[in-house]
Structure 1
Amino acid sequence: MSSKKILYLDMDGVLADYSAHALEELNEIEHLDNVENNELVKEWIRDKNRHFYAQLPLVKDALKSVEILSEHYELYVLSTPMWTLPESYSDKRIWIEEKFGNLLKKKLILTHNKGLLKGDYLIDDRKVHGVSKFEGEHIWFGQAPFENWNAILQYLSEKDHWQLN
């Protein structure tokens, strides 16, 4: 058993740039105020691009950050698939393997209730699917003071006393 702290990483919006890809694919839909929770986007994915999740680009600095964090934490990807799109389950698994290889091999957990898991940290860009009930610390990716990966690495290195190179 590892003595490292457990750190969960959300996939969409934290590792995978869901919003940028959705906006690129859906530039014909106007007024996309909330891309990640927009029914038009979900409908388009179901009807037009069932392998949307396999095509997502990486969030800036995500790979480098996962490499650094893997030295200090036991990492897992914690993601919520689209219930109405069975392909999202397998595509998320394939995406993790293609983008992160052995770093996150067999480390994907799919759930609609992230609050059930035990761990020290959860890096997530939203407070849905049980995030608010997570017993560890929620690091809200994209919100001050955690606007980007560099800010998160700085925070965790100071909090847990490890050197950020």
Structure 2
Amino acid sequence: MVPRKKVLYIDMDGVIADFDSAFHHLDPEIREEYRGREDAIPGLFALMTPIPGAIEAVTELSTLFDTYVLSTVPWRNTSGASQKIEWIQRHFGAGEDGPLYKRVILSHNKHLNRGDFLIDDWPHRNGAAEFADHNADGETIHFGSERFPGWTQVTEYLRSRV
């Protein structure tokens, strides 16, 4: 019997997609119009570039873990859902051989998902803080923290937890 792979969830914005990179592509008037509610900008999610090392790390980790993107879509930007999927298809492939093929979960309640690890840059929003409480031995990895500043550290840590 093949042992079950541990389940790994990876947040998208600020973890695999550089949220701030999208603003360089926007007209200053649009940025001003949406000041304070930037995540509602139409088309914003399609403009993001990958976080350095994210594509390679997620591709590798998908061979070691049962891996899913677990992201939140702003309530007032419903086109964000399709943009996130299109972004994943563009950077990871749209075919069945892609590491994230049909492995996208959009939720405002990340703690409701069952799994072993959640990588998130905002560990206290959208249920990320409660993830470990709802999953015996579950762990939230705070991406961008002192301990896990980038993909090199996250990947090294998770390789040791397979």
Q: Normalized against structure 1, the TM-score is what?
A: 0.81
SS state at 2:70 partner: strand
Residue type matched to 1:100 in 2?
F
- Give the match for residue 149 of structure 2: 147
Runs (4+) off by over 3 Å: 25-29
Deviates more, 1:113-122 or 1:94-103: 94-103
1:107 equivalent in alignment to 2:108: no
Q: Normalized against structure 2, the TM-score is what?
A: 0.83
Percentage of identical aligned residues: 37
Say if 2:22 and 2:45, in contact at 8 Å, map to a contact too: no
Residue type matched to 2:100 in 1?
L
**Are residues 2 and 86 of structure 1, via their aligned partners in 2, closer, same or farther at CA, if it must alter by over 3 Å?**
farther
- Give the match for residue 96 of structure 1: 88
SS state at 2:91 partner: helix
Q: CA deviation at 1:156?
A: 1.3
Residue 37 (structure 2) aligned to one of 27, 38, 42: 42
SS state at 1:78 partner: strand
Q: CA deviation at 1:68?
A: 1.1
Q: How many residues align?
A: 147
Say if 1:53 and 1:88, in contact at 8 Å, map to a contact too: yes
Q: CA deviation at 1:80?
A: 0.3
**Are residues 155 and 65 of structure 1, via their aligned partners in 2, closer, same or farther at CA, if it must alter by over 3 Å?**
same
Q: Distance in 2 between matches of 1:50 and 1:2?
A: 43
Q: Distance in 2 between matches of 1:109 and 1:71?
A: 19
Q: Distance in 2 between matches of 1:40 and 1:72?
A: 41
Structure 1 vs Structure 2 CA RMSD = 2.1
**Are residues 99 and 41 of structure 1, via their aligned partners in 2, closer, same or farther at CA, if it must alter by over 3 Å?**
farther
Task: Mark the runs of 5 or more structure 2 residues left unpaired by the alignment.
Answer: none
SS state at 1:138 partner: strand
